Amino acid sequence: MPKKSPTVAEALLEAHVEYLMDRLTGPTFADFLAQELDALLDEAGRLTLEEVVTPTMIKRTARRYASEIELGGGLPELVAAVARAVYAHRIHDRTALKDIVSHARWTEAIDKLLEFKSLREKLVRTVVTSPIYTAFASDLLYQGIKDYLSRSGELTRSIPGARSVMKLGRSVINKASPGIEATLDENLRKYVTRSVEATARRSAEAVLRHLDDAGLRKMAREIWDRIKFEPIGTLRADITADDVEELFVIGYEYWRELRRTEFYTGLIEAGIDAFFDAYGSQPLTVLLDDLGIDRDTILTECLHYAPHVLTQLKRKKVLRAFVRRQLEGFYRSGAVERVLAASE
């Protein structure tokens, strides 16, 4: 039985598929891509951002991805694995802090932090008047007084008969009132605590006088000189791989809670509004230019990936099937035959 000849539509379909395959994987692909990119950029110069998408559309998408969509269980495991690999990388052992943070950047950061004077004052006052600081200062002062009193016996050795008198006095006091030493000790501790609490606010001002800009800048410079040659890998002595993973888990769980709050979504939507206020009425090319994305950058990246990807898709027989699916519906619709019939 003779083989059936393809219809005109089938022949045109095959020719069209071959044409597109040649454009996508042939030697003229770079020229084809450059022409299409130039045409797209030309059109982008006549389209504004708010004509293409609206703030409401972006907010809905942002809300879905930022607040509603639950991430798969594999993502935390993947990020943890990446964190462990980065932690164990040998480059940390041959990279010093000065290799990634220049002296100029360190100084610039310190100068900026020193501008937050009101915040610094609030932090100092909060810390100095906190129960933790009060307890620490009280214990320090108490131990100092106790140490001084215990060392006072050394003075009595140089006075004839004084040591015997001191022993006799302590013995008489203990017999007259047993436990008085413990009571005195407790009263001393309470007195020191009350004194420290009363002077905490004044001590905060004293601390602030010593923590002026010049003093803090000098301190920061001394710290930098001490640590800048240390390899980053020395941090492993204090932070283990398990610590890194556990910190990530804590941060991830906190983010899952935060993303459900109105605070989180409110900030995202405020950012979207600000973005559209700046670029909504501007042509798309202005946005690309401000982001530093020009024609050459786009073309370079496309040529970096597209030929390899398209070649692999062709080798796996995926590309031809995709192209055919886009075209065969038209060629089998009878449209070709109707056009040809109308032209006769």
pLDDT tens-digit readout, 119-169 = 888 888 887 777 777 777 777 676 776 666 666 555 455 545 444 444 444
Residue pair 281/47 in contact by the 8 Å Cβ criterion: no
Whole-number pLDDT of residue 163: 47
State how far the Cα of 100 lies from the Cα of 96, in Å rounded to an integer.
7
* Tens of each residue's pLDDT in the chain, 344 residues: 556 677 899 999 999 999 999 999 999 999 999 999 999 999 999 999 999 999 999 999 998 888 888 877 788 888 888 888 999 999 999 999 999 999 999 999 999 999 998 988 888 888 777 777 777 777 767 677 666 666 655 545 554 544 444 444 444 444 444 444 456 566 666 766 767 666 776 777 777 777 788 888 998 999 999 999 999 999 888 899 889 888 888 988 899 899 989 999 999 999 999 999 999 999 999 999 999 999 999 999 999 999 999 999 999 999 999 999 999 999 999 999 999 888 87
pTM of structure? 0.73
Tell me how far apart the alpha carbons of residues 214 and 217 are, in angstroms, rounded to a whole number.
5
At residue 121, φ and ψ (nearest 5 deg) are -65, -40
What are the residue ranges spanned by the domains of the chain?
Answer: 8-74+261-343, 100-230
User: CA 24, CA 302: separation in Å to the nearest integer?
Assistant: 12
Q: What is the 3-state secondary structure (H, E, C) of the chain?
A: CCCCCCCHHHHHHHHHHHHHHHHHHCCCHHHHHHHHHHHHHHHHCCCEHHHHCCHHHHHHHHHHHHHHCCCCCHHHHHHHHHHHHHHHCHHHHHCEHHHHCCHHHHHHHHHHHHCCHHHHHHHHHHHHCCHHHHHHHHHHHHHHHHHHHHHCHHHHCCCCCHHHHHHHHHHHHHHHCCCHHHHHHHHHHHHHHHHHHHHHHHHHHHHHHHCCHHHHHHHHHHHHHHHCCCEHHHHHHCCCHHHHHHHHHHHHHHHHHHCCCHHHHHHHHHHHHHHHHHHCCCEHHHHHHHCCCCHHHHHHHHHHHHHHHHHHHHHCCCHHHHHHHHHHHHHCCCHHHHHHHHHC
Cα-Cα end-to-end distance for the chain: 32
Torsion (CA) 49, 50, 53, 58 in degrees, nearest 10:
100
Please tell me the predicted confidence (pLDDT) of residue 154.
52
Amino acid at 288: L
Environment class of residue 209 by beta-carbon count within 10 Å: exposed (0-12), middle (13-18) or buried (19+)? Answer: exposed
- What pLDDT shows up at residue 169? 43
In the structure encoding, which two tokens stand for residue 41, read together?
């950029």
Q: What is the model's pLDDT at position 136?
A: 73
Dihedrals phi, psi of 281, to nearest 5 degrees:
-95, 5
